[in-house]
Amino acid sequence: MSRRRRHHGIFHHIPDSTGAGRGKKRIRARAEWHFGGGPEYCGGCLAAGAPCAKGEPGADGKRCPYVEAAPVSLEGWQAWDVAAKCAGQLRLAPMGGGVSGLDFAAAFACAHALGYNLAALAELLPAAEAGMVAAINDRLTGEPD
């Protein structure tokens, strides 16, 4: 049975198989872990030779959050690469209100320069941004959400 392709105004060029709405929990979780202190935490695991540092389940039976939330597609890895590369390109809230978001102009310029899939980035980067902002603001205030 074939599906008819729907045309939605200006979005007629988006194929039905874009997967919009999928994979965003993973990149958000990875950003929250990474920007919430994950590298410092994992450094201790590496130094101790913990099983989780080798991708195996740790003492609690869980695998490292970096392994659990690793992107599973090329586009996911591209979005994560841009989020990591542009972590210093933040928009700040006025009067010391913390971080309000990622500078998307800088992020998309970086992705364009790298030849990345900009349509996929437009889907995935907001989720990475949400995790990044939540984690950084939690660290700034010392109060997790």
Q: Which of 27, 15, 11, 113 lies closest to 73 in space, CA to CA? A: 27
Note if the pTM is more than 0.75. Answer: yes
Return the closest-CA partner of residue 102 out of 123, 124, 122, 126: 126
- pLDDT for 2 equals 38
Give the per-residue pLDDT at 53. Answer: 86
pLDDT at 22: 56
Please report, in tens digits, the pLDDT of each residue of the chain (145 residues total).
333 333 334 333 434 444 444 559 999 999 999 999 998 988 888 899 999 888 899 888 889 998 899 999 999 999 999 999 999 999 998 888 899 999 999 999 999 999 999 999 999 999 999 999 999 999 998 866 5
Strand-pairing partners, residue 99, are: 92
